[in-house]
Amino acid sequence: MNIGGALLYTSFIFTVLAVIFLIIKQVKIGLWSAGIAAVSITASVLALSYAFVSLDFSTYYVWMFGSDVLTIGYRLAAMLVGQDGTYLVWAWLSILITFINLKRHRQNTNQYDSIYALAACSFLLLLTIIMNPFRSVLIGEGASIPAIGNSINPALVDILMPIHIFTAFAAYAFALVPAAVSIAYLTTGKKHRIKDYLRLSWLFLSISIILGGIWANRLLGWTGFWQWDPIQSVTLATWLLITAALHAEIRFNVGEYRRLFPLLCIYSFIGCICITFVARSGIYNSIHTFLETPTFLVLLIFILIIIIISALFALLFSEKIAIKSSPLSSAFAPYNTFYFTILLLIVLAFIAFWGPNICLVLQYMGYRTVVSTEFYNGMLYIPTILLAYLTGICMLYGKVKNKIIAYVTAIFLIINTILVFATQYSPVILILPAFFFITSNTLFRIVHDTRIKNRTVFIHRAGVGIIHLGFGFALLGAVVSMSLSTVDNFSFALNEENVYKENADVCVKLLDFKVNKVGSNWIQTANIELTEGDRTNNLTATFMKHRQFGFVSRPAVKYSLLSATIVDLKGMPPCRLETGHVDLVVNRYPLLNVLWAGCTLLLAGVILTLLSRFMRRRR
């Protein structure tokens, strides 16, 4: 066992000791034990990082993904490519966050939340130990240290890769504390403020989803930013649950959702584990999926245990709270709008989660089926439209009279109803009234809130408004770009350089086509001139036949003010390089940049709410 493995075991032992000391109410010793565990696993992460930077191929995990062809930055990023390293990073972040939370509340005698959180950290450390990122290649008789490493797939050599993966596991780590506090609340009735942890989890998961979409759009040749891959579906479901929890927390503070809010926090964390389960089970057809691993059954058992325990605690939980009833005249009051908002978010999360799992159920029943994009788009569309209108109503409430809200909502709903029959249910047309309803009402609210003198309160409310404004723009961009996307195919003979070919309003000229052999890898490069309307751009698309990783496509991506164009080179196998054709696929996504702008507003809004909390604490 090397030093990294020893540190990993040390962290596991002291995490378990911290749980024991907190159970017997030795908080100070438990805090010290948790601190030693945090330091140990941090040192373990540094040890693995050094092994990758120094290319220590005596470590099997380094040999699997390290290589001297990678820069130091990508050697470090390679830590996040395999299961071993991601488990280690997940456990590391979880222990650090749990330790910080424990230190903040060290004056409490009963540390049930920290006990549950550290118990979960022990489980994550156990998974890491099972995978053992520090195992040696010198196991078999006569084994020797390899001279070179396997490296990582060239498609993963992108700055977005480590950020996408790291932010995902940061989100999982931040989701742990709200889940642990929620189980503790169902056990003891003791409350802690956990909204900041939920916001941070939501923020990092949002960043991961957005960067994953941009990365897929520009590099991986997915022909789009969203393919309803099982990992994407379960991740979206988890994101929706965290969003529902953030809304439920507001009403929880006034005595509502005493069971629902804790369960939403717990199931948000379960969703994070489910994402990992989908990736590591080997039973889902996903581009993110690893081969089946020893942790498959352990993950499944852990998920079932949390579900059973949380459901049992929720059933046994009782707390008498006086809740004010909402009269019929206040139909737009938060009591009602938040209820339906949370309900719709849960419905959307269920649909997104159900899609990949119904395929699995049918597969075990002997039916082979694939859930199409149309299933998700069709099932999610109406609830999303309703959610958009609820968002607009919430933005107006308290700023104008209820009658005005009713009139404005009725006008937009009538327009929507007319468009349903006039356009034969065109998703693009139907989204427009909902978009204008959200944006106009949200902008009105933001302008109205400029009268607030308290800077901290204004920043918070502006952040909330910007979040919902971002939702409107993201919704418009997603629906339009997916519904009106176009695909144009062009095929050029090898002697057709500088020849124009036109399809509808797209014109492509093949400037040149080059084939280079670098080592044992074949790299095909197509330089083209792309004309759309009155705009002309020179683009380069590449296709690699890699000796080790097979075919790797790097499309050319051109962003305009509102849209995006992706040109994918469908390469040829080396045996056809003299007789084949240069095949190009031009994918166009209108208003895609509106989606990215909306996502940016979402992130900016939640950052402002976190900033307002920081300013309030400083006071």
Domain spans, the chain: 1-137+148-155, 158-165+175-317+328-371, 384-484+605-618, 486-589
Q: CB atoms < 10 A from the CB of 424, how many?
A: 8
Percent of the chain exceeding pLDDT 70 equals: 93
Q: From residue 155, how far is each of 72, 89, 451, 477 by CA, in Å?
A: 17, 22, 50, 26
Sign, Cα dihedral of 29, 30, 32, 36: positive
Counts for the chain of helices (H) and strands (E), in that order: 17, 9
Whether 544 has a pLDDT exceeding 60, the answer reads yes
More confident residue, 435 or 416: 435
Residue with tokens 């895609």: 592
Q: What is the DSSP letter of 292?
A: P
Residues 6+ apart with CB under 8 A from 139: none
pLDDT 10s digits, 145-203 = 888 888 888 888 889 999 999 999 999 999 999 999 999 999 888 877 888 999 999 99
Q: How far apart are CA 575 and CA 156, in angstroms?
A: 26
CA gap 68, 72 in Å, rounded = 9
* C-alpha–C-alpha distance, residues 594 and 564, integer Å: 10
Strand partners, 37: none
pLDDT 10s digits, 190-213: 877 888 999 999 999 999 999 998
Distance CA(258)–CA(330), nearest Å, equals: 22
Q: Which residues contact 590 (CB under 8 A, 6 or more apart)?
A: 480, 481, 484, 485, 562, 563
Do the beta carbons of residue 276 and residue 261 sit within 8 Å? no
**The tokens of 156 are what?**
């993963």
| pLDDT score recorded for residue 328 | 45
Six-digit token pair at 22?
Answer: 């907190």
The string of DSSP codes covering 264-290 is HHHHHHHHHHHHHHHHHHS-S--TTPP
Tell how strand 486-493 and strand 581-589 pair up. Answer: antiparallel
Q: Top-level CATH class of 486-589? A: mainly beta
Pairing mode of beta strands 535-546, 581-589 = unpaired
pLDDT for 424 beyond 80: no
pLDDT tens-place string over residues 320-354:
555 555 444 467 788 888 999 999 999 999 999 98
Homologous superfamily assigned to 1-137+148-155 = Cytochrome c oxidase, subunit III, four-helix bundle (1.20.120.80)
Residue 552: strand pairing partners: 544
pTM of the model: 0.92
Query: What number of other Cβ atoms are within 10 A of residue 43's Cβ?
Result: 17
